[in-house]
Amino acid sequence: MMRKTTTTGPGAVRRNSGKPSTPRVGGHARGARHSSSRSTQRPRTHASRPSTHTRSAGKSSRYHIPGSDENLRIIPVGGCEEVGRNMTIFEYGRDIVILDMGVQFPEEDMPGIDLIIPNISYLKGREKDIRGIIFSHGHLDHIGAAPFLLDKLGYPVIAGKDLTLALIKHKLEDRQKGSTKNLKTIRINGFDDVLKLGKFTIKFFQVEHSIMDAVGVIVETPAGIAIHPGDWTMERDKKGKARVDYKHLAKLKGKPSVLLLESLGAIHDKSHGTYEEMYK
């Protein structure tokens, strides 16, 4: 059951005592954060579902400058200089494709906030231009905001592999029972699949990650090609051989013009055991 709350500031909530607390979700823009102060805590479990909390976005004209048919626009909505809230907008002309919709978990100095979601003010008034949303894999920092944002965007078509889609459906039902009936999905069966989304051509490639059904994404437009592997690792077998080879990406027709890389842990050069060794 939802309760009245008194807002004491952006993202802050004073809760009535004596009643079950309601999780809050912060969706306002945030600056860079240092990993040394990052909290590893996870949202508390509540009987009632989270409710969103965002700052006023104002008029969409303040945020959106019309694109052109000559340029590919890449807009990171979250996930830059922070861990979580991964979401990237690709825009070419009137067509928009989105990669991932992740949440970020709060730090210790954010009382009353259980989840932080991307600010989608840029997309206000452009919902009908969204040709599709691609999900690279099923970790919460890449799919966790889907239950909050898909509804706001009018449930555009989403694409992902089997496990990823199943996890998204579970999160939607967990937030609002019956909401999965609004989903329009495209199942990625294999790395040879090709999606045509407006003027975008979307292709996929194998990546090594700690969850099944992770994919890297190739975004092709007349203006150029962008590659985004989502989250990825460079795992080696017992003989030191790489499990996944990425050299084929250099041979793409048209040649890539933009490479976007997730870099968490990039400065750690110490090797670790194989998955087989860790699972023993």
pLDDT tens digits, residue range 110-163? 888 888 999 999 999 999 999 999 999 999 999 999 999 999 999 999 999 999
Tokens of 253: 């027709």
> Residue 231 has what pLDDT?
78
Mean pLDDT (the chain, rounded): 77
**How far are the Cα atoms of 22, 44, 115, 173, 177 from residue 47, in angstroms, in the given order?**
8, 10, 16, 14, 14
**Domain 61-102+120-278 annotated CATH 3.40.50.300:** no
Strand bridging mode 87-92 / 158-160: unpaired
Report the first-to-last Cα separation within the chain, whole angstroms.
45
Q: Position 184: which residue type?
A: K
Residues 238-255 have pLDDT tens digits of 666 667 788 888 888 877
SS3 labels along 189-253: CCCCCEEEECCEEEEEEECCCCCCCCEEEEEEECCEEEEECCCCCCCECCCCCECCCCHHHHHCC
**Residues near 36 by Cβ (< 8 Å), separated by ≥ 6?**
none
The first and second tokens of residue 47, run together, are 């009987």
pTM of the model: 0.74
Q: How far apart are CA 151 and CA 172, in angstroms?
A: 10
